Structure 1
Amino acid sequence: MELFTAIYFLLLVYTMITFCKYIFHKRNQCCYMLNYECYTSTDDRKLDTESCGKIVQRNKNLGLEEYRFLLQTIVSAGIGEETYGPRNVIEGREECPTTADALWELDDIIFQTLDKLFASSGVLPSEIDILVVNVSLLSPAPSLTARVINRYKMRENIKVFNLSGMGCSASLIAVDLVRHLFRLYNNAFAIVVSTESIGPHWYCGKEKSMILSNCLFRSGGCSMLLTNNRALERQAILKLSCSVRTHLAADDDAYNCCMQVEDDRDYRGFLLTKSLKKAAAKALSMNFRVLVPKMLPFKELLRYVIVSRLRKKIKSLSIENTAGASLNLKAGIEHFCIHPGGKAVIDGVGKSLGLGDYDLEPARMALHRFGNTSAGGLWYVLGYMQAKKRLKKGDKILMISLGAGFKCNNCVWEVLRDLDDANVWKGCIQHYPTKPSTNPFMEKYSWINDEHLSYIKLC
Structure 2
Amino acid sequence: MRSLTKLKLLQLTIAILLILTLILHRLYSHLLSHLILINPTVSLSFLSLTLLALLYYLSNRPNPVFLLNYSCYKPTPDRKLSYEVSEYFVYKAQKYSPKSIDFMRGIYLKSGLGNETYAPPFIFETGDHNAKLCSAIQEAEEGMFTSVDSLLRKTQVHPSKIDIVIVTCGSFSPNPSLSSLLVNHCNLKPNVKTYNLSGMGCSSGVISIDLVHNILRKSKKIQYALVVITENISLNWYFGDDRSMLVTNCIFRVGCAAAILTNDPSCYPHAKMQLLHSLRTHHGADDSSYRAAMQEEDINNNVGVSLTKDLVRVAGVNLREHIRIFAPRVLPLSQLISYAYSVVMSAVMTAAKPVVPDFTTAFEHLCIHTGGKAVIEAVGRVLRLSDEVTEPARMSLHRFGNTSSSLVFYELAYFEAKNRVKRNDRMWMLAFGTGFKVGSLVWKFLGDSSYQSDNPWNDCIHRYPLKTW
Q: TM-score, normalised by structure 2?
A: 0.85
Match of 2:263 among 202, 225, 228: 228
- Structure 1 residues without counterparts, runs of 5 or longer: 438-459
Aligned residues: 428
Query: Per-residue deviation at 1:13?
Result: 5.3
Matches within 5 A, 1:17-416: 17-28=52-63, 30-92=64-126, 95-182=129-216, 183-186=218-221, 188-306=223-341, 325-416=355-446
Query: Per-residue deviation at 1:299?
Result: 2.3
Amino acid of the residue matched to residue 458 of structure 2?
K
1: CA distance, partners of 2:212 / 2:433 = 19
Query: Per-residue deviation at 1:50?
Result: 1.8
Give the stretch that moved more between structures: 129-138 or 60-69.
60-69
Is the 1:79–1:367 Cα contact (8 Å) retained in structure 2? Answer: yes
State the secondary structure of the residue aligned to 1:425.
Answer: coil
Q: Which structure is richer in relative contact order (CA contacts within 8 A, separation 6 or more)?
A: 1
Amino acid of the residue matched to residue 61 of structure 2?
K
Amino acid of the residue matched to residue 407 of structure 2?
G
- Shift in CA distance, 139/313, structure 1 to aligned 2, threshold 3 Å: closer
State the secondary structure of the residue aligned to 2:394.
Answer: helix
Amino acid of the residue matched to residue 111 of structure 2?
A
1:429 aligned to 2:461?
Answer: yes
1: CA distance, partners of 2:131 / 2:238 = 12
2: CA distance, partners of 1:136 / 1:70 = 23
State the secondary structure of the residue aligned to 2:85.
Answer: helix
Sequence identity percentage: 36
- Shift in CA distance, 299/136, structure 1 to aligned 2, threshold 3 Å: same
C-alpha offsets along residues 3-39 of structure 1, whole Å, 9 cap, x if unaligned?
x9999988875664444233223242x1111100000
1: CA distance, partners of 2:348 / 2:283 = 34
RMSD (CA atoms): 2.6
- Shift in CA distance, 20/44, structure 1 to aligned 2, threshold 3 Å: same
Amino acid of the residue matched to residue 269 of structure 2?
R
1: CA distance, partners of 2:164 / 2:416 = 26
Q: TM-score, normalised by structure 1?
A: 0.87
C-alpha offsets along residues 290-344 of structure 1, whole Å, 9 cap, x if unaligned?
111111111221234457778999999xx9xx99x54221111111101211111
- Structure 2 residues without counterparts, runs of 5 or longer: 1-38
2: CA distance, partners of 1:58 / 1:257 = 31
2: CA distance, partners of 1:237 / 1:303 = 33
Is the 1:186–1:228 Cα contact (8 Å) retained in structure 2? Answer: no
State the secondary structure of the residue aligned to 2:74.
Answer: coil
Query: Per-residue deviation at 1:128?
Result: 0.6
2: CA distance, partners of 1:258 / 1:202 = 15
2: CA distance, partners of 1:211 / 1:43 = 25
Query: Per-residue deviation at 1:196?
Result: 0.5
State the secondary structure of the residue aligned to 1:116.
Answer: helix
